[in-house]
Amino acid sequence: MLNILWVEDEYTEQKQRQWFKDRCVAVETSFDAAEKAINSDLNKYDVVVLDINLENSEHSKNIKEYAKDYKSVHDFLEKCGMNLYFMLLENGFPKERIFFLTANANETTSQINNLRQAFDRGDDDKFLKILISITSSFGDEEKKNAYELISHPDGYDESDINSLCDYLSAYFNKLNNSEGKNTYEILRETANNCRIKVPEVWVKGTNQLDIGLKKLEENKYLVLRRGVIEGCQYATTLMKDNIYFNKYTLENESIQEEDIQNYFEILKHLLPMREPIDKWSLYKLFIRTLSHEWEAAKSIKIDKEKKDAVLAWVMRNTRHWITHNSNLFTEVDENLIAYLFIVNMRVMFNFNEDAVQDYEKTLLKLFGNEALDENEFLAKKAPVRDSYIELKILVKNDNKDNESEQNIRDDYYFYKLTNNIQQSNSSLRHDKKLFIKLLYQTFWLTTSNPLSSTKGYDDLLDIRFYDFNYQSKAYLFQLARHIYHRSFPEA
């Protein structure tokens, strides 16, 4: 769930429900309050929605000071949403996530918005229908110019749509003189003359806001970043008596509360507000930082009071692998980061409750349609044994083909065997897809331990697996059904 800052001087709860539905919205109802929010902690927000006209704001000393450069206080407040826009830019907020929600836009602006959103949704029929409607009053030359912008043999892309929308906007601007233009059109024309692009406008009373927000909610980077920030904030409430991490360390290497606080403060700010072009380098750094503390974990074992403690092997092996073979993590996605973050939190702390936390709900949204339906998951039996045997056979065949003093050492336990691959000279240790899958499978193969009478490495027929109850904790159940397909892609 993304956090939205909404600036609206005619706020009502009914408007919020109607326009934003059940989304997480912080509302500021005056220019002064909005300015304070923008200049305090923008890290709280993923999207900012501004009203252009805030004329109902109190005529404070601050506003009167601003108004000195304008005809009057009213003149300033009538367009002060633009001032807030530039404040956001000055504070580093990404311009592509700032929007105007206003009634001060004409019908053609609304239609051009609808045209762009139809393209974004891939609705070609709707796109063509809107374009025909917009250009119905055009002369032959203007219509030809418009359609040529999207008449490519290989189809049109986003840059073509931007050119088309700019052309349409310019065409309608020429039809009106300044007196006939509304506030938004005047702002846009002034900004264009200064070579500045104003925020996209969503027109009140339409569904453009909802469509635009849904598109942003599909941005995996934004969802990951919000979930991590919320998780780090939640971690600050779990200090002192809830730290479980020291159960894994030697007594003289225990971690202090201050260290944990610093650790989560770093993680909280590691994903920048603006989505980087090279996300993968950032994600590798994030995993390195997230797993750093697990270098000190020397004893990971079954705890009857905390049965999920064995999931610490996910983090311990991640630390080992990224330290000794960081290329494994050059192509990771947001889903893996989310999975590791959720596991890390659960094994680092003793939670007071097993319910799925809000930050976990946010992060699990990244798996979307991949997740198994709850009933479908309950009806399935995870192919834990098959995955275990598959890895054992893979190692055995690799050792047979590559006789060497540093072949892969066999082991009874899955998490040790995966680590042994990394300590060998086998080419398998560089298989990125394999090791990402193994990280997911470790969730299942540490909780569902192998059982046999001899613990023999070779007698696979003798090995069965402890049937772990993933319904025992709500978060385990939800995590398990969400990562199922990534763990067992062939199943």
Structure confidence by residue, pLDDT tens digits, 386-425: 999 999 999 988 888 776 667 899 888 899 999 999 999 8
* Percent of the chain surpassing pLDDT 90: 53
Closest CA to 432 of 312, 307, 302, 287: 287
C-alpha span between 212 and 359 (Å, rounded): 23
Closest CA to 200 of 90, 108, 275, 101: 101
Number of neighbouring beta carbons within 10 Å of residue 473: 19
Residues 41-72 have pLDDT tens digits of 899 999 999 998 999 999 999 999 999 988 99
Parallel, antiparallel or unpaired: strands 24-28 and 3-7: parallel
Residues 365-379 have pLDDT tens digits of 999 889 999 999 999
Q: What is the pLDDT of residue 404?
A: 61
Confidence of residue 175 (pLDDT cuts 50, 70, 90): low
Please state the rounded mean pLDDT for residues 21-25. 94
Q: What is the pLDDT of residue 179?
A: 47
Has residue 181 got a pLDDT over 70? no
Please state the rounded mean pLDDT for residues 468-482. 93
Q: At what angle do helices 432-447 and 312-324 cross, to 10 degrees?
A: 160
Residues 273-309 have pLDDT tens digits of 999 988 999 999 999 999 999 998 888 888 888 889 9
Q: What is the pLDDT of residue 462?
A: 65
- Note the Cα 159 to chain centre separation in Å: 25
The answer to whether 307 and 469 are in contact (CB under 8 A) is: no
Q: Which amino acid is at 30?
A: S
Q: Three-class SS of residue 257?
A: helix
Phi-psi domain of 36 (left: phi exceeds 0; alpha: psi -120 through 50; beta: other): alpha
Q: Three-class SS of residue 27?
A: strand
Q: Which amino acid is at 204?
A: K
Q: What is the pLDDT of residue 85?
A: 92
Q: Which of 113-122, 193-202, 441-450 has the lowest mean pLDDT?
A: 193-202
Q: Which two tokens stand for residue 179?
A: 């007196």
DSSP codes of every residue in 338-371? HHHHHHHHHHHB--S--SPPHHHHHHHGGGGGGS
C-alpha span between 360 and 344 (Å, rounded): 12
Please state the rounded mean pLDDT for residues 137-145. 78
Q: Is 290 exposed, middle or buried (0-12, 13-18, 19+ CB in 10 A)?
A: buried
pTM recorded for the entire structure: 0.84
Average pLDDT, the chain: 87
C-alpha span between 66 and 229 (Å, rounded): 34
Closest CA to 321 of 418, 462, 457: 418
Higher pLDDT, 81 or 162: 81
Q: What is the pLDDT of residue 178?
A: 45
